[in-house]
Amino acid sequence: MLVTSRSYAEYEAMFDLKVLPESVLDCCAGGAGFTAEAAARGVDAIAADPAYAKDHAELVDAVRRSLPATAGIVDEHRGSFVWHWYGSPERKDQHRIEAADRFLQDVAAAPERYVAAGLPELPFGDRRFELVLCSHLLFTWADKYDLDWHTAALRELIRVSNAEVRVFPLVQQGAGAPVPWMAELLGRLESLEGVTTEIRKVPYEFQAGANEMLVVTRT
Ligand SMILES: C[S@@+](CC[C@H](N)C(=O)[O-])C[C@H]1O[C@@H](n2cnc3c(N)ncnc32)[C@H](O)[C@@H]1O
C-alpha cells in the first residue's frame, strides 16, 4: 500500500475542518502533512501508521516512491477523477510534494508524534482524542478488508475518540466503486451504545462523486 502525503489543505477540505479541537489523531496518517501543521497550530496532534515501524531511510524512500505512484492510479482511471478542487495535475502534485517535505521534516524533528500502530488495535487509551481522522484506508481498500475488519477498525477508532471520528472517502480506490456493505456497517455502529452516524457532504472532490465523509459521534 502506498504511503501517500496529503496536505493540511486537503485534510481541511476532505474533513470539512473549521476549528481544530485540543487533540487530534490522524490514523492512518502515512506521509501526510496534517499532523505537523496541526501541531504547529498548538494542537495535541498524533499520527499513527504501521509504516512508522520502518527505519528513517526506509520511510523516506516509501514516501518519496509513493509521490509519482498516485499519478499512475489517476492515469489508469482517468474518467473517474474530477479536477475542480485541485485546478490541475500540477497543483495536486504541489500539495503532495510540499506535504511529504513537511511530514519528513516533522518526523525527524518530533518523532514522538508519529506512532507505529495499525488498526484494528491502537495503543491509546479510551477517549484519548477529541477528534479522530481516517483518510484513504477504510472503504478505500474495501476489496482487501471486509465488513468485519471495518467494524473492528471503526470500533477501535470510536474507542480512542472522545467526541467524533471522521472518515473519508466512502468509496473504493481507483474507479470509486461503492462499498456494498456500507448500510450494514452503519447499522452495526448505530447499535453501539452512545454512537450515532451521519454521512455529511464536504467541499472536496477528486474521485468523481466522492464528496461525502462519515461522521461518527460519541455521546
Ligand atoms: C493511501 S495511504 C493514506 C495516507 C494519508 N492518510 C493520506 O491521506 O495521504 C494509506 C496508509 O494506510 C496505512 N495503513 C495500512 N494498513 C493500516 C492499518 N491496518 N492501520 C492503519 N494504517 C494502515 C499505510 O501504511 C498507508 O500509509
Q: Is the pLDDT of residue 141 over 80?
A: yes
Is residue 2 a part of any domain in this protein? no
- Report the domain count for the chain: 1
Res 77: pLDDT: 83
Is residue 197 a part of any domain in this protein? yes
CATH of residue 157: 3.40.50.150
16 in Cβ contact with 203 (< 8 Å):
yes
Q: 168 pLDDT band (50/70/90 cuts)? A: very high
Q: Is the pLDDT of residue 53 over 90?
A: yes
Is residue 64 a part of any domain in this protein? yes
Is residue 3 a part of any domain in this protein? no
Res 71: pLDDT: 74
Domain that holds residue 130: 8-218
Distance 3 CA to ligand 1 centre (A): 6
User: Of the candidates 182, 186, 126, which has an alpha carbon nearest to the alpha carbon of residue 158?
Assistant: 126
Is residue 1 a part of any domain in this protein? no
- Ligand 1 atom with least separation from CA of 99: 9
d(CA 177, CA 166): 20
Res 73: pLDDT: 81
Give the chain's mean pLDDT.
96
- Closest-CA residue, ligand 1 atom 12, reads 28
Total count of residues recorded for the chain: 219
Res 72: pLDDT: 77
Q: Tens digits of per-residue pLDDT, 54-95? A: 999 999 999 999 998 777 788 888 889 999 999 999 999 999
- Closest-CA residue, ligand 1 atom 10, reads 137
Q: Tens digits of per-residue pLDDT, 100-110? A: 999 999 999 99
Mutate to test the pocket of ligand 1, among 26, 49, 165 (most ligand atoms within 8 A of CB): 49
Contacts of 170 (CB under 8 A, 6+ apart): 139, 179, 182, 199, 210, 212, 213, 214
C-alpha cell at 105: 521534516
Res 139: pLDDT: 98
d(CA 143, CA 26): 22
Whether ligand 1 lies within 6 angstroms of the CB of 6 is answered as yes
Distance 31 CA to ligand 1 centre (A): 9
Q: Is the pLDDT of residue 43 over 80?
A: yes
- Ligand 1 atom with least separation from CA of 49: 22
Q: Is the pLDDT of residue 15 over 80?
A: yes
Is residue 50 a part of any domain in this protein? yes
Distance 63 CA to ligand 1 centre (A): 11
The answer to whether the predicted template modeling score (pTM) of the entire model surpasses 0.95 is yes
Res 49: pLDDT: 98
Whether ligand 1 lies within 6 angstroms of the CB of 2 is answered as yes
Q: CA 211 from chain center: how many Å?
A: 14
Q: Is the pLDDT of residue 1 over 80?
A: yes
Whether ligand 1 lies within 6 angstroms of the CB of 30 is answered as yes
Res 74: pLDDT: 82
Whether ligand 1 lies within 6 angstroms of the CB of 156 is answered as no
Could you identify the residue written with the cell 502515512? 30
Give me the helices (H) in 77-145, please: 89-109
Q: Which residues pair with 200 in a beta bridge?
A: 213
